[in-house]
Amino acid sequence: MTAKILDGKMVSARIKNELAEEVKQLKEKGVQPGLAVIIVGNDPASRVYVNNKKKACAEVGIYSEEYALPEETTQQELLDLVEKLNKDNRISGILVQLPLPKHIEEKTVLYAIDPKKDVDAFHPVNVGRIMIGDFDFVPCTPAGVMELIKESGIEVSGKNCVVIGRSNIVGKPQAMLLLHQNGTVTVCHSKTQNLSEITKKADILVAAVGKAKMVTADMVKPGAVVIDVGMNRDENGKLCGDVKFDEASEIAGAITPVPGGVGPMTIAMLMRNTVKAALIS
């Protein structure tokens, strides 16, 4: 049995086409969604992500501004810029590309973003709203994962869902979104014992731990949906996920590739959040 490949490129292209149509209609009503992206320093991976986001904005018709700040930018300078963008009517969404340089406290910066413009959904107000199930924005990666699960035709309700990883950006919100759809959710992490015994019971397995090829075939239940959020480099410097794709795809019922799975979906969801922000601001 070979797993059905959940093609994030294809699904994200469809979502972006739908959004482009929506943006066109909004512009006719005098509403122009706008995204400001701030990048501090010159982390090569961050630069790639920022370029992809700008390209997606152009495809969908979202106005975008980029603020590329030098590594030595002070925390106060960054906070001043965020405050300026909070007040700027042309900007409906603000995104600060992580990681930030060591001398800047990420939390302070993220908390300074107006929750109505927080298209990454990292502000405590938005995190709290996800918790109670009354939210405008969902973090882009978990939102993309939910779209791919929907695309696979899998009903979440009543299913055993296992999330490996408990980060604030992916693991925790992912668990909440699965729970909101009536999944029975287990969150595993570095202190979890007998990990493979837990993952083997998962109908839906989300790997979001950032360790190359950590999830092997013997950890996957036959026919499971396997979603690989990881973005790593293997020993040859080639992009790979948290799942040993070649092995797992022989066992799983559906699986996301890396690259081309969750990555493109994350950017499509950012576009969706930005359009939504333009409607609620």
Active site residues: 53, 97, 120
Cβ contacts of 208 within 8 Å, gap of 6 or more: 141, 163, 164, 165, 167, 170, 171, 174, 229, 230, 242
Which string of b and e fits 74-99 if b means at least 16 CB within 10 Å?
ebeebeebbeebeeeeebbbbbbbbe
Three-state DSSP class for residue 134: coil
Asked if residue 222 has a cis previous peptide bond (ω within 30° of 0), the answer is: no
What is the separation, in whole angstroms, between the first and last Cα of the chain? 49
Element containing residue 34 per DSSP (H, E):
strand 34-40
Name residue 28's amino acid.
E
Amino acid at 265: M
d(CA 205, CA 208): 10
Phi, psi of 39 (to 5 degrees): -125, 130
* 152-187 exposure pattern, b = at least 16 Cβ within 10 A, e = fewer: bebebeebbbbbbbbbebbbbbbbbbbebbebbbbb
Provide the token pair at 168. Answer: 């604030």
Helix (H) or strand (E) holding 228: strand 225-228
CB 37 within 8 A of CB 119: no
